[in-house]
Amino acid sequence: MPRTYAEEMSYIRQLSPVSYEVAPGFVPGMRVPGTFYVNDSLKGLLFEELQAAVQRGDHGGFLPAVKQLANVAALPGIVKCSIALPDVHSGYGFAIGNVAAFDMDNPEAVVSPGGVGFDINCGVRLLRTNLTEADVAPHREQLAQSLFDHIPVGVGSQGIIPTTAKDMEAALELGMDWSLREGYAWAEDKEHCEEYGRMLSADPRYVSARAKKRGLPQMGTLGAGNHYAEVQVVDEVFDEVAARRMGIDQVGQVVVMIHSGSRGLGHQVATDALVAMERAMARDGIVTNDRQLACARIQSEEGQAYLKAMACAANYAWVNRSSMTFLARQAFAKVFSSTPDDLDMHVVYDVSHNIAKVEQHMVDGKPMRLLVHRKGSTRAFPPHHPLIPADYQLIGQPVLIGGTMGTSSYVLTGTDRGFAETFGSTCHGAGRARSRNNSRNKLDYTEVLDSLKAKGISIRVASPKLVMEEAPESYKDVSAVVDTCHAAGISNKAVKLRPIAVIKG
Amino acid sequence: MTWLGFQLRALRYPHGPVDVDADNPEAARKLVIWLENLKIREYKIEDRKPLADTASPTWGAAFGKYLSDLSCPVPSTDLKAAVEWLVAFAVNLEYEDNADKLPPPAAPAPAPAPAAPPAAKPAAPASSRGAQAFTDLADPATVAAVRELIRVAQVSEGAGIVDELQEAADLAVAAVGPALAAGGWTDGRAARAALAHVPLGFNVEGEALNRAAKALRLAYVQDLRRLQSQIDHALVEMQEYTANPKTDSSLGKVGR
């Protein structure tokens, strides 16, 4: 007998103006509660989705994000709670915007590719410049074209950095160290990168030939979908000390944001792992509420193979963003007849959105080694955490929140409260409000492009017809998402950025 | 550093600070003849002998005559006050000679800084007491001088004289500080104020312990930064041998 909406809601309890708890029992077998962070303007979407699912019954459609959150809470070895951030929306198995941590010392605990996502180590990198909006204004179109010429975009695009299969093997193992060795990155870039741009657990032998074949021509390409390179300007500074430390404290200062991931290689790694894990689940008798939540014990052969391959895909993504940094620096140098050094084009930070990492956290007053899955969520470590760079020890880890095409982006910093409550995690972007198909049906791409032009944003797209999938109307309001995280204290607002030129696939 | 010592440094007196002691006047007497020889030059060289003979029993008389020739208001019996006056007088002469050559106060200034501490200036001219000029804070002249100082420093008024003066002092430090030799400014107040805004990351009992822990954290972060810079430097040196970035735009293909 299916529950009514009211019965479903009886499991959900508001904890604070911006947080809610989902009690065990909401779905079968929950080992820990679920928690989600939404403010009043965002909660509607989440609850409407649940209500629609109740009315629809069991027949088809994506599971609502709240149900997915609860299903994750039923996975073996999960600790404390399954957490959803304000930009949460339904995804494959895990909702996008879900954080879940599994006890490394529990032999039953699992790793799930769905908890990382298909675009492994999709992330955002921010470069600063010493240019102002006024310096760039006369060259805006030229700059957008130059970036478009330098950074290959779109489905089926190919990179302009010559790469052999041997280079690729090395890149998978070395991550940004490969970019450094070959001279595509600066030494300072590495220190301002999560994990210093290299997962040491990477082992290219665990990446299938098929994945490598997909990855090779795509090195140094932006990709399609929600990926973009944007020229932005500092619009508002909330935390002057933090902004000054990051070198982005002047309103009107020009910065470059690159949002990209591990392309076809990451997707293939995830696909390969899902197939292997279905077998492992049958063998080890792992039962989940949702078939999409394929997983394997962390210490099993399949679990370890996935983690090693995932680390390679993560390294690939860092190399990819480093290559695009190199190309963006060249594009700027050309347009402004200067050098990247003289333009002060340093990497402010580079964050990962889709990744699983082994970290130390305090759970109920005890230190624990956890495998933290962050899917559509950004690590946000507090001041003084040993894993953040020397430059940011006093302000906390910078968190880069990419907006959607034509809307604002934000730079936040990590907090102690976030470290205690959400395993040091916060939101990653706006989060979808409409599915891709829904957007395609309802929006007209010429309108979307015209509205960007009206806002004074130069745009270059490889495939205009896919633009409406990524239109701001398809997403939640990024400001509401960021404000929720700020209000919940899981990260602090530092700087708001506004786009002036967009390059998209 | 005493005010006298500060002035002597400004004059580039080679024998360091002088302790003026009436019972043991040798050092003071040497200073007097040095001032006359190099800075004041009141007498012709041959007339300086009585002053130059610092061991002579008649030195006191020669000194008295010297002071009166300079129209010094201080009697020669108060050796300390007289020496202080002489030094101040020498600084004045030095300043008059070089005023047009000295850089403005905010630019990096070498040792001669006769106009330096502005706080002493308004009350100083008639006083031989140097830095101790503000002994009576209720004195209307003192208050007027401080008001004048605050006006010159362009501090917005209304916060009360103490806060305004503090702000003027901070401005002066900001303006003059960079010109002082390293370690020349020892006031820790600014550092303590900055420390208050540093998050410690953990809790300890007591304000003093807290500050100490923060100072240690900052020292540690500085060490970390130094180490990171060394690593970066090593990486750059390695790149000299390995780096050869290439692009080939003919390979590029824009997707759909």
Q: For every residue of B178-226, which 3-state class applies, written as one string?
A: HHCCCCCCCCCHHHHHHHCCCCCCCCCCCHHHHHHHHHHHHHHHHHHHH
| Res B116 pLDDT > 60 | no
Torsion-angle region of A426 (φ positive above 0: left; ψ -120 to 50: alpha; else: beta): beta
Helix (H, G, I), strand (E, B) or coil at A343: coil
For A333, residues 6+ apart whose C-beta sits below 8 A from its C-beta are A339, A340, A343
B151-190 in b/e burial notation, b at 16+ Cβ within 10 A? eebebeeeeeeeebbeebbbebeeebeebeeeeeeeeeee
**How is residue A299 written in tokens?**
């210490």
Please indicate if the annotation marks A19 as binding a ligand.
Answer: no
Helix (H, G, I), strand (E, B) or coil at A497: strand
User: Is the CB of residue A377 less than 8 Å from the CB of residue A91?
Assistant: no
Helix (H) or strand (E) holding A335: helix A301-335
Contacts of B253 in chain A (CB under 8 A): 152, 156-158
Which pTM was predicted?
0.76
Residue of A nearest to B221 (CA): A390
Query: Given CB atoms, is A326 within the 8 Å cutoff of chain B?
Result: yes
For B139, residues 6+ apart whose C-beta sits below 8 A from its C-beta are none
- Longest CA–CA span in chain B (Å) reads 105
Neighbour tally for A462: CB within 10 Å: 21
**How is residue A473 written in tokens?**
């109307």
Q: Are strands A491-504 and A409-414 parallel, antiparallel or unpaired?
A: antiparallel
Helix (H) or strand (E) holding A165: helix A165-174
What is the residue type of B22? A
**What's A289-308 look like in SS3?**
CCCCCCCEECCCHHHHHHHH
Set out the domains of chain A in order of their start, with CATH numbers.
Answer: 5-107 (no CATH), 122-199+218-261+317-351+378-504 (3.90.1860.10)
For A191, residues 6+ apart whose C-beta sits below 8 A from its C-beta are A389, A390, A391, B228, B231, B232
Greater model confidence, B252 or A374? A374
What is the residue type of A482? V
Residue of A nearest to B239 (CA): A181
Contacts of A153 in chain B (CB under 8 A): 254-255
Question: Which residues of A are annotated as catalytic?
Answer: 428
What was the pLDDT predicted at A282? 94
What was the pLDDT predicted at B122? 42
CB-CB under 8 Å, B249 with A383: no
What was the pLDDT predicted at B237? 95
What was the pLDDT predicted at B129? 42
What was the pLDDT predicted at A469? 80
Residues of chain A with confidence (pLDDT) below 70:
1, 58-60
Distance from the Cα of A270 to chain B's closest Cα (Å) equals 23
Distance (Å, whole) CA A55 – CA A63: 13
Q: Which of A203-217, B103-117, B223-237 has the lowest mean pLDDT?
A: B103-117
Burial class (CB in 10 A: 0-12, 13-18, 19+), B109: middle
Distance of CA A83 to the CA centre of its chain: 15
Q: For A102, which DSSP code?
A: E
For A275, residues 6+ apart whose C-beta sits below 8 A from its C-beta are none
CB-CB under 8 Å, B248 with A162: yes
Burial class (CB in 10 A: 0-12, 13-18, 19+), A235: middle
Question: For residue A399, what are the β-bridge partners?
Answer: A412
Distance from the Cα of A268 to chain B's closest Cα (Å) equals 19
Q: How many CB pairs under 8 A join A and B?
A: 100
Q: Are strands A253-260 and A123-132 parallel, antiparallel or unpaired?
A: antiparallel
Query: Given CB atoms, is A157 within the 8 Å cutoff of chain B?
Result: yes
Give me the long-range contacts of B244-249 (CB less than 8 A, separation at least 24). B244/A182, B244/A183, B245/A161, B245/A182, B245/A183, B245/A184, B245/A326, B246/A161, B246/A162, B247/A160, B247/A161, B247/A162, B247/A327, B247/A330, B248/A160, B248/A161, B248/A162, B249/A149, B249/A160
CB-CB under 8 Å, A383 with B201: yes
Residues of B within an 8 Å Cβ radius of A: 197-202, 217, 221, 224-225, 227-228, 231-233, 235-236, 238-239, 242-249, 251-256
Distance from the Cα of A165 to chain B's closest Cα (Å) equals 15
Q: E strands, A287-402, where?
A: 296-297, 347-352, 354-363, 366-375, 378-379, 398-401
Neighbour tally for A69: CB within 10 Å: 29
Residue of A nearest to B250 (CA): A160
User: Is the CB of residue B25 less than 8 Å from the CB of residue B40?
Assistant: no
Distance (Å, whole) CA A292 – CA A305: 19
B114 — pLDDT class (breaks 50, 70, 90)? very low
**How is residue A192 written in tokens?**
């301002």
| Res B130 pLDDT > 50 | no
Distance from the Cα of A486 to chain B's closest Cα (Å) equals 18
Query: Given CB atoms, is A340 within the 8 Å cutoff of chain B?
Result: no
| Res B109 pLDDT > 80 | no
Residue of A nearest to B240 (CA): A183
List Cα–Cα distances, A278 to A119, A275, A309, in angstroms. Answer: 20, 5, 17
Distance (Å, whole) CA A358 – CA A150: 36
Q: Which of A20-24, B156-160, B183-187 has the lowest mean pLDDT?
A: B183-187
CB-CB under 8 Å, B256 with A154: yes
B206 — pLDDT class (breaks 50, 70, 90)? confident
Report which of A72, A55, A62 is spatially closest to residue A6, judged by C-alpha positions: A55
Averaged confidence pLDDT in chain B: 78
Residue of A nearest to B229 (CA): A188
What was the pLDDT predicted at A66? 95
Report which of A32, A78, A66 is spatially closest to residue A295, judged by C-alpha positions: A78
Distance from the Cα of A75 to chain B's closest Cα (Å) equals 33
Taking a contact as any Cβ pair under 8 Å apart, which residues of chain A between 456 and 475 contact chain B?
Answer: 462-463
Please indicate if the annotation marks A169 as binding a ligand.
Answer: no
Contacts of B217 in chain A (CB under 8 A): 384
What was the pLDDT predicted at A450? 86
